[in-house]
Amino acid sequence: MSAQETYDALVKECKELSLLASTASILYWDQHSYMPPGGVAFRAEQLSVISSLTHARFTDPKIGDWLSELEGSDLVKNEESVEAVNVRELRHQYDKQTKLPTDLVEEITRTTSLANEKWMEARQKSDFKIFLPWLEKVVDLEKKKAEAYGYEGEPYNALLDDYEPGATVDDVIEVFKNLRNDLVTLLQKVKDAPKKPDVSIVEREYDVGLQKIFGESVVASMGFDFNEGRLDITTHPFCTGIGYGDTRILTRYNPNRLNDALFGTMHEAGHGLYESGLDKVTHFGTPMGESASLGIHESQSRMWENQVGRSKSFWKYYFPQAQRLFRKSLAGVTLDDFYAAINNVSPSYIRVEADEATYNLHILLRFELERALLTGDLKPADVPGEWNERFKKYFGIEVDKDSNGCLQDVHWSAGLVGYFPTYTLGNLYSACFFNKALEDMPDLYEQFERGEFLKLREWLRNNIHKHGRKYRATKLCEKVTCKPLDYKPLIAYMNAKYSEIYGF
């Protein structure tokens, strides 16, 4: 075969495998939206067979042979060509995947599907005992995964790379340290500040039906296309890009808190815009049609949630509409008071409901526990105790029940150990990208005040989405912003916002 023929065969195989994997996305979406509870055991079998099938086919030695042949060919000479990017990234995936035995992959899929149901039950009853045996199984399997991959330094590096290719614990620790120092200073200023937002404004009765209408209208104005997507209800919000023309987001509503669903929905819609902004019609099934990393993915969701959704400009446009919908709860409330309320900084239990300033402390805690679970320094049975002790130390409050503590997040039940740091990376990237967007479009905030968000969507499409996985995250950041990743833009953005709100 010529190099071109080999490349075409590789792409054809990858597309077919991605089509199979995309049926698993529908199975997962269905499991967390509409599936009857009795279907869980069978669903685990379905997911397991697809996972092991795609794993077995992607790790077939012929893929390795094809890659080797292509790596020596002219087809990949230009390292930014579609072919070169796809070969480079498929090689990275192939090398990792071939290290995982099919049995292990299958066991992880089956176990996490059942663990997820147990986690949901445990969370609902706030009973860690229900989840413990499954957490033990997951941790054990994740350790096996790290050993199979191999790693330098600690086992955590092997897992982190799955979500943030090329990143290591040492990088993350460095970023966290700098960020934490400045965050601590910021939080102290907030604590000592003379002004305090009246957070009760957003903790009144907010009719779920009206919240739905409001959220849908916001998401539509962001450019999320309901002709090619859906918004549904679930326990733990997420977004899944099924394929071209089909991107789905899921949220949850709290009748007594406006923030949860609204910012949660904007967050997932930010992921959704990234998914639908990838050129899947041309590149579906290959890295060029996939997101750069989870950190970059998160930068999109956090930008829409925070830099846009929690901005004064956004609410100059939307607050009058919100007042018309939520007549009673927002009667007599001023824009400034509302703006302060949605940006209130205060330690709270639930990560996905946390304010921007404390959010990264939630991540830090999980990251520390995960590392200790993998090294064996922490036993799964000791997670609640360790969680609660650290929580007290970082946030200054006692965890009242495990559903507000170590049972709150879906990740461990889903086998997503190593995933959490990407949230903080996402926050850092979002601030860097948004700064550049402001530089390129100095009237961006004026656009928001007029309810115009499509130019930002276009900017993101052109600068980030359309590249797929052409550039690794750190390189993409440099390409877009002309600077390496930095924690300062995030801190500067927060200082500016909170000094106004809190008057320091």
Q: What is the DSSP letter of 155?
A: T
309 binds its own copies (CB under 8 A): no
CA 171 to chain centre: 19
Nearest partner of 145 among 136, 155, 130, judged by Cα: 155
Nearest partner of 56 among 102, 117, 6, 123, judged by Cα: 102
Type of residue numbered 160: L
Site for its own copies in 23-42 (CB under 8 A): 23-24, 26-27, 30, 33-42
Residue from 6, 7, 11, 22 binding its own copies (CB under 8 A): 22
Q: How many residues at the interface with its own copies, by CB under 8 A?
A: 39
Q: What is the DSSP letter of 120?
A: H
- Residue closer to its own copies (CB basis): 37 or 194: 37
- Residue closer to its own copies (CB basis): 194 or 227: 227
**CB crowding 75-93: b at 16 or more within 10 Å, else e:** bbeeeeebbbbbbbbbbbb
* Region of 219-227, 317-325, 361-369, 429-437 interacting with its own copies (CB under 8 A): 219-227
49 binds its own copies (CB under 8 A): yes
Asked about 71 being catalytic, the answer comes back as no
Torsions phi, psi for 286 (to 5 deg): -120, 160
222 binds its own copies (CB under 8 A): no
- Residue closer to its own copies (CB basis): 116 or 306: 116
Sign of the Cα torsion 327, 328, 329, 334 reads positive
Write the interaction track for its own copies spanning residues 235-254; mark x where CB under 8 A is met and - where it is not: -------xxxxx-x------
Catalytic residue among 106, 142, 268, 370: 268
- Residue closer to its own copies (CB basis): 151 or 244: 244
Write the interaction track for its own copies spanning residues 260-289; mark x where CB under 8 A is met and - where it is not: ------------------------x-----
Residue from 13, 46, 154, 279 binding its own copies (CB under 8 A): 46
Task: For residues 228 and 477, give the distance between their C-alpha atoms in angstroms, rounded to a whole number.
Answer: 29
H or E segment and range at residue 249: strand 246-251
Q: Which residues contact 360 (CB under 8 A, 6 or more apart)?
A: 176, 179, 180, 183, 423, 424, 427
226 binds its own copies (CB under 8 A): yes
Binding-site ranges for its own copies (CB under 8 A): 16, 19-20, 22-24, 26-27, 30, 33-43, 45-46, 49-50, 53, 225-230, 232, 242-246, 248, 284
For the annotated catalytic residues, the residue numbers are 268
